[in-house]
A and B are shown apart, each in its own frame.
Chain A
Amino acid sequence: MAEARPVRLAVVDYGAGNLVSIRNALTLIGAETVVARGAAGLVGADAIVVPGVGASAPAMNRLRRQGLVEPIWAAVAAGTWYVGICLGLQLLFERSDEDGARMLGLLRGSVSRIPDAPRLPHIGWNQLELVKPRHPVVAGIADGSPAYFVHSYVPVPEDPDVVVARTEHGGTFASLVAHDRLIGFQFHPERSGRDGLRLLSDTVGLIAAGPPGVSASVAGHTADARV
């Protein structure tokens, strides 16, 4: 196999939490990261990594203010991967029940509070029940592997087929979603020890392998979301 160049990841800095841990983790597994504060930062990236903690509406406002929303849509439509972590995953969906925010709309569904949770925020290590154990992102970890969560809201995808793993905290929710070139972790792989690093490294491996053309269906979602 030819020597591959390192995967280039644009880590989006939009003021919603720090980027230190995720950049440290991605660097450790051999990926090349650049920090993107505006559209120019996305150019040439194999994947856009959107981390973040907090509420959706202020986060979307900051993405808009930094002129990132349309460039993210365009990049995804052109085949760039999107890796969302925690809030970055939630932003993939259409709207949030938390504050009514209208989000990126790259996946159908909403974001709402964890149903029947005994305690919120949901802080700590919880288990990933692998709904799709053969998905390349999770192929390297065991069913029931622990991951570190810090959040109160969760994605509610309209299409159950995007759910790769789910987790129980009172109610059960989608903790890892993937569709075409969109991947989202509700937990923090960069804070989930060895299993978390494995998830990130398999994600980067998947991006490096770059399975063919999926941009058309993603573009369809994007176009709808703009209406």
Chain B
Amino acid sequence: MLLRRVIPCLDVADGRVVKGVRFVDLTDEGDPPELAARYAAEGADEICFLDITAAPEGRGTILDVVERTARRVFVPITVGGGVRTPAEMRDVLRAGADKVAVNTAAVRDPELLKRCATRFGRQCVVISIDARSDPARPGAWEVVVQGGRTPTGLDAVAWAQRASRMGAGEVLLTSIDRDGTQSGFDLELLRAVVAAVDVPVVASGGAGTPEDMVAALAEGNADAVLAASIFHRGIHSIASVKAAIAAAGVPVRIVDGAA
């Protein structure tokens, strides 16, 4: 039986983790590979790096981060942020990433998904979608890009469907309304996208408690849940979230001896 995944997300800028993290005994608490290794040991099913490096000259640093992480972390690594071309995707994959998420570039040029899928296989192409409630259309969601700042007029559910048909093998769906609020995932959005696509959907945006994670999986039908601050702030560990998921009867990978 396919197990549901719990994925910690690390925001990386200029090769360093930028959000607050809880591991106090680290030699270097801002070093992404060190943190990724900690999360993997705790039972993370996958590690997600989101490259939020602002300056173009800092872009190459994510490759070094991925390379160093892949040497010591033996769970899948997904990288998102700033990838615009198949050549850039190739570089990230060669550094040791398993999947690459594209967002703004795919909205501008949906054919990018097809080109990447043809070249690398759809299993490593993730369409990252930032969606927010559309004030003009109650019960519908609009795609926003550039870190949630720019509206596109695209319907999020229709875009998820189109992107998966173009070649994306997975959807990383972030509710911009909920992101950072810790008020729970947008289950309606999640259900609508899961029903519209036949590829796995990762829920993101709004995780505040283990119960939120359980709801995204059990009620939202997500294949995986992704979260940042709930783990970084040390309120909940990966292991405790997974224990709650298992207790709710949702199949999940339990790692023996995880803290």
Residues of A in contact with B (beta carbons under 8 Å apart): 17-18, 20-21, 24-25, 28, 53-55, 118-127, 146, 148, 150-152, 168-169, 188, 190-194, 196-197
Contact = CB atoms under 8 A, between A and B. Distances in A.
Contact of B199 (A21, A120, A169, A196): A120
Interface class of chain B by DSSP: loop
B198 A21 contact: no
A124 B1 contact: no
A168 B1 contact: yes
Nearest to A189: B74
Given A119-B223, A124-B200, A169-B2, A17 B75 contact: no
B121 A193 contact: no
Interface string B102-140: 000000000000000000111110000000000000000
B95 interface: yes
A123 B96 contact: no
Main secondary structure of the interface of A (DSSP, over half): mixed
A119 B5 CA distance: 15
Nearest to A148: B76
Interface string B186-227: 000000000000111000000000000000000000011000
Contacts of A124: 2-5, 45, 200, 223-224
A18 B96 contact: yes
Given A123-B200, A123-B223, A126-B2, A54 B98 contact: no
Contact of A119 (B1, B198, B255): B198
A122 B2 contact: yes
Contact of A20 (B3, B94, B123, B253): B94
Q: Which 10 A-B pairs have the closest CB atoms?
A: A20-B96, A54-B121, A125-B3, A146-B253, A150-B123, A53-B121, A125-B253, A121-B123, A121-B169, A126-B2
A20 B70 contact: yes
Nearest to B66: A20
B40 interface: yes
Contact of A126 (B1, B95, B96, B124): B1
B71 interface: yes
B234 to A, nearest CB: 22
B70 A121 contact: no
A127 B251 CA distance: 10
A197 B76 CA distance: 13
